[in-house]
């Protein structure tokens, strides 16, 4: 009798684990689809459930941070990106997008440190150079901004916004003209590349200052069931 009870208990625990895994996959699928459709509040609801199911899944916090960013909750996005890199200290996308949020707060030195970390982890991710170039520009460090846009253009020579941003950086150097800090602006959230690098976009500002684009649902490779994960 005791052996039967033990067997039933093992089977019950195994069934619970299978159901929990299924639930996680379902909520991932729903959350990612909601992100892709621009339904950010709905995405957050699903990722909130996932965060309660598993506090160690850095992708959950990262995706929720993306949704929060696109809703204008920059502080909340930063906190989720903080969590993602705390859980996984070699998570390139977490450092990349935390740097973007830090730049939005004018914390350029911290942002540049995160960009440097992301580049060390994935030097082939060319989008990080574009993002860092924008932050250099906003920090009025125009020479390194030019270098980052140069590097980006070598890999993406057909991207017109890269030339626009590099031109603004050239123009802003002390040898050409001086840009007042109040003139520097950032764009609204836009989509990103499939690698997790920021896809540049032309600024809608009349002054045409460099702007970065921001996290979207199409950024990193995604966990099961949508793809194979990181």
Residue 180, exposed/middle/buried by CB under 10 A (0-12, 13-18, 19+)?
exposed
> What 3-state class would DSSP assign to 22?
helix
Is there a domain that residue 95 lies in?
A: yes
Cut 0.85: pTM above it: no
Which positions ≥6 away from 175 have C-beta within 8 Å? none
Lowest-pLDDT range, 91-95, 145-149, 223-227?
223-227
For 128-159, what is each residue's pLDDT tens digit?
999 999 999 999 999 999 999 999 999 999 99
DSSP assignment letter at 179: -
Q: Is residue 112 a part of any domain in this protein?
A: yes
Domain count, the chain: 1
pLDDT tens per residue across span 159-216 = 998 999 999 999 988 865 444 333 333 333 333 333 344 433 333 332 333 444 444 4
Query: DSSP letter at 214?
Result: -
- How far apart are the C-alpha atoms of 71 and 44, rounded to whole Å? 10
Q: Does any domain span residue 10?
A: no
93/2 Cα distance (integer angstroms)? 51
CATH number of the domain where residue 198 is located: 1.25.40.10
Q: Is residue 80 part of a domain?
A: no
Average pLDDT over residues 103-132: 96
Does a structural domain hold residue 122?
Answer: yes
**CA 113/CA 130 separation, integer angstroms:** 15
């Amino acid at each position: 009798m005791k052996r039967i009870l033990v067997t039933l208990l093992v089977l019950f625990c195994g069934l619970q684990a299978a159901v929990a895994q299924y639930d996680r996959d379902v909520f991932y699928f729903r959350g990612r689809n909601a992100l892709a459709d621009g339904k950010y509040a709905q995405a957050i609801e699903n990722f909130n459930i996932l965060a309660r199911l598993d506090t160690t899944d850095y992708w959950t916090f990262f995706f929720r941070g993306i949704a929060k960013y696109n809703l204008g909750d920059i502080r909340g996005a930063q906190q989720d990106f903080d969590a993602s890199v705390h859980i996984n200290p070699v998570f390139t996308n977490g450092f990349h997008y935390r740097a973007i949020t830090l730049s939005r707060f004018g914390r350029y030195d911290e942002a540049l440190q995160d960009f440097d970390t992301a580049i060390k982890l994935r030097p082939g991710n060319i989008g990080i150079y574009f993002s860092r170039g924008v932050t250099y520009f906003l920090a009025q460090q125009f020479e390194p901004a030019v270098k980052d846009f140069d590097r980006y253009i070598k890999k993406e020579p057909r991207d017109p916004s890269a030339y626009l941003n590099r031109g603004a950086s050239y123009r802003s150097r002390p040898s050409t003209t001086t840009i007042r800090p109040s003139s520097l602006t950032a764009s609204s959230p836009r989509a990103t590349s499939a690698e997790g690098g920021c896809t540049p976009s032309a600024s809608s500002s009349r002054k045409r200052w460099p702007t970065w684009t921001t996290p979207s649902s199409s950024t990193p490779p995604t966990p099961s069931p949508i793809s194979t994960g990181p």
